[in-house]
Structure 1
Amino acid sequence: MNLNIAICDDDTNDIAIMKKNILQYTIESDNNIVVSSYFSASDLLSDYKNHLYQIVLLDIEMPDINGMELARQLRDMDDDLLIIFTTSYPEYMHESFEVQPFQFITKPVDYTAIYKLFNNIIKKLYRNSKSIVIIDTDGEKNFVPLSDLLYISSMKENKLHLRYQLTDRALISKGTLSEAEKRLSSHGFVSPSRGFLVNLHQIRSITSTRLLLNNGFELPISRRRSKELQNIYSQHIINIL
């Protein structure tokens, strides 16, 4: 499994120990774990939007912004982020409930703690993997919840690339629509017309010629697919009621 994580701690020695133990786990478990280090909360916050971290390990006692406040701001940006606190102060545990941490680890963080932590993380991510699609953009793997994916369209200027339209941005990735349909048809994605694949969960309303998505986007429905798509959507609504 590919994991992109950040460690934020003002103690360089603590970061070095954690990175060493994570590297050992990476080698022994045959997972690909990329670790980024930050020595202050403000550095992580300013850089966070440039990365798609799945996991952050946060020290609590830091001089500029403490780990608890950092976790609050990160949680506001990402509901799915796994937050792990690394601390010598267990009394913070009760205060942390509002940011829904995945786990607390007591310092010093030894290999046994890292081993147990990442085994638990990987089990959780595998359980959730059915609701996540991995989109590769020029070698960078983007872990996207299916609920955030509105539709996929083939690109007229390059038939071997797809545009993944998310709720907040678009991603371009190599691939064909037929490949995407094979991968996502069991997750409620259907083709309304040539060149498009739409998420049934994101449809607000449907007519014989067009469908309206929750964010206001409209997509065309081909005459050939119109009746079948309306039946599929009607059954989808019945199933979720």
Structure 2
Amino acid sequence: MIQIAFCDDDQTVLAQLSALLEKYRAQRCVQIQCTAFHSPLDLLAEIEKGTRYDILFLDVIMPAENGITAAKEIRQYDNVVKIIFLTSSAEFAVESYVVGAYFYQLKPIWEDSFFRLTDSVIAECRRADQRSLILRCKTGISRIDLDQLLYCEVLGRTAGHCAVPDRRHRAAGCHRAGRHPAAAAGTGALDRAFGARAVALFAQAAAAVRRGRQRRLLPH
């Protein structure tokens, strides 16, 4: 299920976004869960608790804290979420991409543009899920590209350490089998470190395992 959050200090805009998303959800038959925030401080508090969103529609100009500043703080906890800035001015367009914004949408938001944008960002989320792992690390939530993975140490259902060319991640929580399509078929626990080639083989083999069956894919 896609997790989406709206954050805007204008209740009228929040109501409009919610109505557009409800219509989108019905027409596209997509499972989406949405949470609306009136203040970026409330959104940040939720993210600090560990709540993860796939897509965030974030207003730029708000009284408590502007969206650009809020996005910089969000990136300290989550470098995966797709951030779409909403504003009536193009003033912050360049600065928005410094925090890795997916898109900069000018208000007012029309149905056709909302549908096209939502189609695009959901498709990107699904592509990213198929070629990467999402881990909750000591430094926050990170997406690990399988093509860049050098090794991954797994203990039971917990990813202990993952390494990519420019950094090493130490997982802080449990990475369950169902979180990633490569492991969604229900596989046996791996309790050894394995190389990038083994990860690829594991992904291929896991896809062939019938959901619900437990099978050890790699020998100890």
TM bracket (short chain): 0.5 to 0.7
1:51 maps to a residue whose letter is: T
Q: How does 1:176-195 map to 2 (within 5 A)?
A: 180=183, 195=190
Question: Would you say 1:169 and 2:172 are equivalent positions?
Answer: yes
More strand per residue: 1
Q: Deviation of residue 182 (structure 1)?
A: 7.3
User: Which residue in the other structure is 1:16 paired with?
Assistant: 15
Which 5+ residue runs of structure 1 have no aligned equivalent?
Answer: 136-141, 155-161, 185-190, 202-223, 226-241
Count of aligned pairs between the two proteins = 178
Q: Quick check: 1:134–1:143 contact (8 Å CA) kept in 2?
A: yes
Greater RCO between the two (CA within 8 Å, min separation 6)? 2
More helix per residue: 1
Q: Quick check: 2:96–2:104 contact (8 Å CA) kept in 1?
A: no
How far apart are the structure 1 equivalents of 2:85 and 2:158?
Answer: 37
SS in 1 for 2:68: helix
How has the CA–CA distance of structure 1 residues 180 and 198 changed in structure 2, closer, same or farther, with 3 Å as cutoff? farther
SS in 2 for 1:171: coil
Q: TM-score, normalised by structure 1?
A: 0.62
Q: How does 1:82-101 map to 2 (within 5 A)?
A: 82-101=82-101
Question: Would you say 1:127 and 2:115 are equivalent positions?
Answer: no
User: Which residue in the other structure is 1:31 paired with?
Assistant: 30
How far apart are the structure 1 equivalents of 2:76 and 2:134?
Answer: 23
How has the CA–CA distance of structure 1 residues 64 and 86 changed in structure 2, closer, same or farther, with 3 Å as cutoff? same
How has the CA–CA distance of structure 1 residues 28 and 151 changed in structure 2, closer, same or farther, with 3 Å as cutoff? farther
1:111 maps to a residue whose letter is: E
Q: Quick check: 1:181–1:197 contact (8 Å CA) kept in 2?
A: no
Q: Deviation of residue 116 (structure 1)?
A: 0.7
Q: TM-score, normalised by structure 2?
A: 0.68
Deviations 1:131-179 (A, max 9, x none): 23589xxxxxx996465x944444xxxxxxx44546332227478xxx9
How has the CA–CA distance of structure 1 residues 105 and 151 changed in structure 2, closer, same or farther, with 3 Å as cutoff? same
How has the CA–CA distance of structure 1 residues 112 and 132 changed in structure 2, closer, same or farther, with 3 Å as cutoff? same
How has the CA–CA distance of structure 1 residues 131 and 110 changed in structure 2, closer, same or farther, with 3 Å as cutoff? same
How has the CA–CA distance of structure 1 residues 32 and 199 changed in structure 2, closer, same or farther, with 3 Å as cutoff? farther
SS in 1 for 2:91: helix
How has the CA–CA distance of structure 1 residues 151 and 13 changed in structure 2, closer, same or farther, with 3 Å as cutoff? same
Q: Quick check: 2:54–2:125 contact (8 Å CA) kept in 1?
A: no
SS in 2 for 1:78: coil
SS in 1 for 2:75: helix
2:82 maps to a residue whose letter is: L
Q: Deviation of residue 26 (structure 1)?
A: 1.1
2:195 equivalent among 200, 209, 213: 200
Which 5+ residue runs of structure 2 have no aligned equivalent?
Answer: 136-140, 162-169, 197-218
How far apart are the structure 2 equivalents of 1:19 and 1:143?
Answer: 28
SS in 2 for 1:127: helix
Q: Quick check: 2:59–2:87 contact (8 Å CA) kept in 1?
A: yes
SS in 2 for 1:15: helix
SS in 2 for 1:77: coil
Deviations 1:175-214 (A, max 9, x none): 8xxx949789xxxxxx9xx85254425xxxxxxxxxxxxx
Q: Quick check: 1:105–1:113 contact (8 Å CA) kept in 2?
A: no
1:25 maps to a residue whose letter is: Y
